[in-house]
Structure 1
Amino acid sequence: MTARFGPGELSASFRSVFGTDPDGVWQAPGRVNLIGEHTDYNEGFVLPFAIDRTARVAVRLRPDSTIRLMSTFGNQGLTTADAGSLSRAAARGWTKYPLGVLWALQQRGLAVPGLDLLLASDVPRGAGLSSSHAIECAVVTAMNELAGGGLGVEDMVLVTQRAENDFVGAPTGIMDQSASLRGSSDHAVFLDCRDQSVELVPFDAEQAGLELLVIDTKVSHSHATGGYAARRVSCELGAEVLGVASLRSLSLGDLDEALGLLDEETFRRVRHVVTENDRVLQTVEALRSAGPRAIGPLLDASHGSMRDDFEISCPELDLAVEAARSAGALGARMTGGGFGGSAIALTPQGAARGVRDAVGRSFAAAGYAAPDIFSVRPAAGAMRVA
């Protein structure tokens, strides 16, 4: 995780790198998915929220077609591209995310000019907190304003999804960018991925005497590699065999029939998605009627389903969840696409230090690298900040 750059600091760094002031500074947050994993690309329900950790971009348009990109982290140095010939093959490292957005905007018919861009981000990378989508959402927000895109939030969601799917090569859905673009302080984003309809659901853990801890296991993951894509293929196969357009069309009552039609592995993949959709709906209702303290068992059940049916957990995530629960967390689950990244633990404020210590001791005893543990709260979505 890099140090946080305020808008003024980022503008000053931009002047140092590029010799001129930026046209502005835009930011977009990472996200935590409270519940609803691998349901988004199945046209299902998700309940993420934007977090108080952001990617910020200082941008200035150029009179030519040259694109120059620099970040405040890593050692990649200045990357140069041409707006007239953007290609996936030429992108490397973090630059594939802004370049992917510029390419996707071009595919929509927007004339993308040359630009200088400086990125700073304190969203942990590879932790399952959507650091890549934070970058993409900051860039699409900036370019929509600077290049006169005239895009609504639904369009920006689809632009960043196309960047991820067709440029980066990650077969992700619309959850992450929806949370980053549509987030609101002290609310979770209840998203129907079939039609992009959104309802903001109150989720003020602090007011309820709780903390939401993120446990970054330091096990890095990538959605552009095989495990994530293989799960998506299994879901598509299940839908095809069961004769539905997407697994969203199935209910809990359809699982008995599915058991007789699908091979054992595909059935378990389908069962996770169907039961996870139901858990999202239960969580939304619990938050509305009883508040955050009521959702712990649903978080626990979600983790069990991801571990056993969808098989996207790992030993570090399972240990983080088990240790957090044993030390007093009301509920815990892995969050994000899986195969590494982070777990979340909904914890009474008085037990938070004990949970942190217990997870740290468990990791040390198992010989794992020390996790990074921090609290997050729901924050506002993408915006201009300077």
Structure 2
Amino acid sequence: MTPPVTPAATDLAAAFTERYGDEPAGVWAAPGRVNLIGEHTDYNEGFVLPFAIDHSTRVAAALRTDRTVRVASTFSGAGEVTVNLDELQPGSVTGWAAYPVGVLWALEQAGHRLPGLDLLIDSSVPVGAGLSSSAAIECAVAVAANELAGTGLSAPELALVGQRAENEMVGAPTGVMDQSASLLGRSGHAVFLDCRSLKAQLVPLPLADAGLTLLVIDTRVSHSHSTGGYADRRASCERGAELMGVSSLRELRVADLAEAAGTLDEETFRRVRHVVTENARVEDMVGILAAKGPGAIGALLDASHASMRDDFEISCPELDLAVDSARSNGALGARMTGGGFGGAAIALTPHDDVERVIAAVEEAFAAAGYAAPAIFAVLPADGAGRLA
């Protein structure tokens, strides 16, 4: 069934016509995501449990008769970027435009010759908050180009296209979780993804029915996956796998950690311990959601945050304060979400305690002298598709 045309889609189409002089062929959208649990496990061929959220990126698009791509956005002051598909290569486009243009490059690298395109992008996914605004851009452009150019790729194939764009064109060594959640999500469900096989399973996540709200606490501390800490953590995981004689940390189970403690240096061991125990927590959460529902997952959220704070060392004072304040004022569980070093935390909160949690976090940030956080609720939403 064709979704109803939303005001946002109509407005973006009108803005496209004003900019480019012709109507777009359509408007497509892809959501951001919250990772419920399973952090830094994706590039270790492990398990993740994200869900698509009700904040999305939209792209109005039209084919051209040449090989030129023009891309602009409503949110960047950088103006319009124009490139020729024949001249694209990693490093040839930088900044935010590398994400949409990178998708077109990755499609061509996969053997799909594309026509030129005009693109206008709009987004309601907060940038730098760990909600994967980058993957939302990639997936919106991917589904638009896939339809307009008739490449016929499946959602899992488009997820790999988006990952390649981010890895090679942008230079961020991320896994495939973000794109998979944005493309495969469904309202009221999380996506249990095996990052080795790319097999995905929808897991019911009836938050509203359980009387629960998932709050996102955007600390306003921005981060970038293409710099520093993220790459260091990935290299540490690869080193740990090599020293343990396995192809990836997916091969290790909790029972193997005693051996790892005697084999690895202290820092590498802690990095490995996080990934191994986080994989176990993802599997445990899938089982608990099936048996008891979302009201019973708070302890796993708390344990995940402690592991990221102490073993993987990717939290920051603002994230820790958000988690502690939420937890002590009624949240059933809380954790940072996303790659770390800033971004957002999530707090699973009974409806009746939402206002108290929000007020407590805001007061704690003010008392600490931090910038005011942005706090909002999210619900599991449908994945990428055509709006108009």
Q: TM-score, normalised by structure 2?
A: 0.98
- Gap runs ≥5 in structure 2: 1-5
Which residue is 1:211 aligned to?
213
The Cα of 1:297 is off from its aligned counterpart by 0.4
- The equivalent position to 1:87 in structure 2, one of 60, 77, 89, is 89
Cα distance between partner residues in 1 of 2:161 and 2:7: 26
- The equivalent position to 1:350 in structure 2, one of 334, 349, 352, is 352
Which residue is 1:303 aligned to?
305
The Cα of 1:204 is off from its aligned counterpart by 1.2
Q: Is 1:56–1:138's contact at 8 Å kept on the other side of the alignment?
A: yes
Which residue is 1:285 aligned to?
287
Which residue is 1:110 aligned to?
112
The Cα of 1:65 is off from its aligned counterpart by 1.5
Cα distance between partner residues in 1 of 2:75 and 2:154: 31
Q: Report the residue type matching 2:227 in the other structure.
A: T
Q: Which runs of 4+ in 1 moved over 6 A?
A: none
Cα distance between partner residues in 1 of 2:7 and 2:296: 37
Residue 345 of structure 1: SS of its match in structure 2?
Answer: strand
Which residue is 1:30 aligned to?
32
- The equivalent position to 1:166 in structure 2, one of 157, 165, 168, is 168
Cα distance between partner residues in 1 of 2:274 and 2:348: 22
Which residue is 1:71 aligned to?
73
Are 2:197 and 1:185 equivalent residues in the alignment?
no
The Cα of 1:88 is off from its aligned counterpart by 3.3
Q: Report the residue type matching 1:265 in the other structure.
A: E
How much identity, in percent, do the aligned residues show?
66
Q: How many residues are aligned here?
A: 383
- Per-residue CA deviations over 1:193-245 (Å, capped at 9, x if unaligned) read 11011111000111100100000000000000010010000100110011111
The Cα of 1:5 is off from its aligned counterpart by 6.4
Which residue is 2:296 aligned to?
294
Cα distance between partner residues in 2 of 1:246 and 1:36: 16
151-160 or 315-324: bigger deviation = 151-160
Cα distance between partner residues in 2 of 1:46 and 1:200: 12
Q: Is 1:5–1:120's contact at 8 Å kept on the other side of the alignment?
A: no
- The equivalent position to 2:334 in structure 1, one of 318, 332, 335, is 332
- Per-residue CA deviations over 1:162-200 (Å, capped at 9, x if unaligned) read 111111100001100000000000000000111011111
Structure-2 change in CA distance of 1:365 and 1:38 (3 Å): same
Which residue is 1:194 aligned to?
196
Q: Report the residue type matching 2:230 in the other structure.
A: Y
The Cα of 1:69 is off from its aligned counterpart by 0.8
Residue 224 of structure 2: SS of its match in structure 1?
Answer: coil
Q: Is 1:129–1:336's contact at 8 Å kept on the other side of the alignment?
A: yes
Cα distance between partner residues in 2 of 1:254 and 1:143: 45
Residue 136 of structure 1: SS of its match in structure 2?
Answer: helix
Aligned 1:255-294 pairs, distance under 5 A = 255-294=257-296
CA RMSD of aligned residues (A): 0.9
The Cα of 1:55 is off from its aligned counterpart by 0.3
Which residue is 2:250 aligned to?
248
Are 2:189 and 1:221 equivalent residues in the alignment?
no
The Cα of 1:15 is off from its aligned counterpart by 0.6
- Per-residue CA deviations over 1:336-377 (Å, capped at 9, x if unaligned) read 000000000000000000000000000000000000000000
Cα distance between partner residues in 1 of 2:253 and 2:73: 46
Cα distance between partner residues in 2 of 1:282 and 1:154: 24
Which residue is 2:145 aligned to?
143
Cα distance between partner residues in 1 of 2:95 and 2:247: 35
Which residue is 1:49 aligned to?
51
Q: TM-score, normalised by structure 1?
A: 0.98
337-346 or 93-102: bigger deviation = 93-102
- Gap runs ≥5 in structure 1: none
